[in-house]
């Protein structure tokens, strides 16, 4: 349930309506816009009688929200959320350009890629330290050593870092060192992990599950927000379909759909979507044209020797060309890099 107050309602009146809601055992989420104030009611509103609110002198209208997600719902927060990742703004016209290798392999490897990516316009550096691999025999990442390499490169190059958290055991060290904590596709519905994210001050990059519907994905964002961390960025990374030629199928429609359903920024990872480097450019450009708030692209200085996902990684020169083209599209649609 959402209560829209009349324009220029006083602070006292807002507090009074808030008290009325709280007396009914619900929580509130207040968004004070320039013109109107909206109060979102959080909790089980199915048995709440809306009449006392409808007749209140400060209330303009009462709306029922059908969707089970509330805090993530655009109805609760009509304006785009802008998430601050250690000074880099994402959303509301600001693009996140995340680039880097699938996995951290060595300091020299990440440093070389990070320098090149930054020179091309990337504003965030990615690199997996803890890798969710399908096979237990595949390279599992360098773990904490990989995380420390990322931190060293951050110091040298000056790009905030993005890396995946797989276990609550590393919550504290990630909170201390990681600028944007990634929750990967395979953990999108690891609800215990999601509930713990309220304890970190860092924003979260929530990737779409391999076969998650929009509603399931939004409910996972809701878990994080309800636990106390409202700084969530969503990442479309392709879904499982009957097609096997590509690694996954990029759901471009998710961009306009999610921009309608939620105020949270939506970025796209064309690398894991297609699984082929030559698909990245067209899908990246299409994503920006469709309204995405950014891109996460795997970049590797020697893809043929990469320990993970070389086939979908761009060489730095190709990434540079891509960002030039993306900038042109961004300019046309009024987004800034």
Phi and psi at residue 314, to the nearest 5°: -90, 145
Q: Which helix (H) or strand (E) holds 184?
A: none
Q: Which helix (H) or strand (E) holds 173?
A: helix 171-177
- Name which of 281 and 309 has its Cβ closer to Mn ion: 309
Q: Which helix (H) or strand (E) holds 235?
A: strand 232-236
The correct pick among 309, 314, 318, 335 for binding Mn ion (CB under 5 A) is 309
The span of 30-38, 96-104, 114-122, 274-282 binding Mn ion (CB under 5 A) equals 96-104
- Name which of 88 and 162 has its Cβ closer to ligand PEP: 162
Residues in contact with ligand PEP, shown as a per-residue x/- string from 23 to 62 under the rule CB under 6 A? ----------------------------------------
- Name which of 43 and 275 has its Cβ closer to ligand PEP: 275
Q: Judged by CB under 5 A, how many residues of this single chain contact Mn ion?
A: 2
Residue 337, number of CB atoms within 10 A of its CB: 16
Identify residues 207-266 at the interface with ligand PEP (CB under 6 A).
207, 237
* Smallest separation, CB 139 to Mn ion (Å): 11
Q: Which residue number has the CB closest to Mn ion?
A: 102
Distance in angstroms between the alpha carbons of the first and the last residue of the chain: 37
- Name which of 59 and 125 has its Cβ closer to ligand PEP: 125
- Name which of 76 and 130 has its Cβ closer to ligand PEP: 130
DSSP string, 42-80: ES--TT---HHHHTSTTEEEEE---SS--TTBGGG--SP
The correct pick among 132, 158, 228, 256 for binding ligand PEP (CB under 6 A) is 132
Task: Give the residue from 132, 143, 151, 85 showing the smallest Cα distance to 294.
Answer: 85
């Amino acid at each position: 349930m959402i209560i829209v107050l009349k324009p220029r309602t006083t602070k006292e009146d807002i507090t009074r309506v808030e008290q009325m809601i709280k007396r009914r055992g619900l929580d509130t989420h207040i968004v004070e816009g320039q013109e109107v104030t909206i109060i979102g009611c959080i909790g089980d509103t199915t048995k709440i009688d809306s009449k006392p609110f409808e007749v209140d002198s400060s209330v303009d209208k009462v709306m029922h929200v059908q969707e089970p997600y509330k805090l993530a719902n655009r109805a609760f927060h009509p304006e785009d959320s802008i998430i601050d990742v250690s000074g880099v703004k994402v959303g509301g016209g600001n693009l996140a350009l995340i680039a880097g290798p699938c996995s951290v392999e060595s300091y020299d490897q990440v440093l070389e890629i990070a320098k090149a990516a930054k020179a091309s316009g990337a504003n965030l550096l990615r690199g997996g330290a803890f890798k969710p691999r399908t096979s237990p025999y595949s390279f599992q990442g360098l773990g904490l050593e990989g995380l420390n390499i990322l931190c060293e490169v951050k110091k040298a190059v000056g790009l905030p870092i993005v890396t995946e958290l797989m276990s609550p055991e590393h919550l504290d060290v990630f909170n201390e060192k990681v600028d944007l904590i990634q929750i990967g596709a395979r953990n999108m519905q690891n609800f215990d992990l999601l509930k713990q994210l309220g304890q970190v001050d860092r924003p979260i990059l929530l990737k779409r599950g391999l076969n998650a519907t929009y509603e399931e994905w939004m409910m996972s964002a809701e878990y994080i927000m309800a636990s106390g961390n409202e700084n969530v960025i969503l990442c479309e990374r392709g879904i499982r379909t009957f097609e096997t030629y590509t690694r996954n199928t990029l759901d471009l429609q998710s961009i306009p759909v999610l921009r309608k359903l939620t105020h949270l920024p939506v970025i796209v990872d064309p690398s894991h979507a297609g699984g082929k480097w030559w698909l990245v450019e067209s899908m990246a450009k299409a994503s920006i044209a469709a309204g995405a708030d950014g891109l996460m692209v795997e970049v590797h200085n020697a893809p043929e020797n990469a320990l993970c996902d070389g086939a979908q990684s761009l060489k730095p020169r190709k990434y540079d060309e891509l960002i030039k083209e993306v900038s042109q599209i961004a300019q046309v649609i009024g987004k800034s890099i």
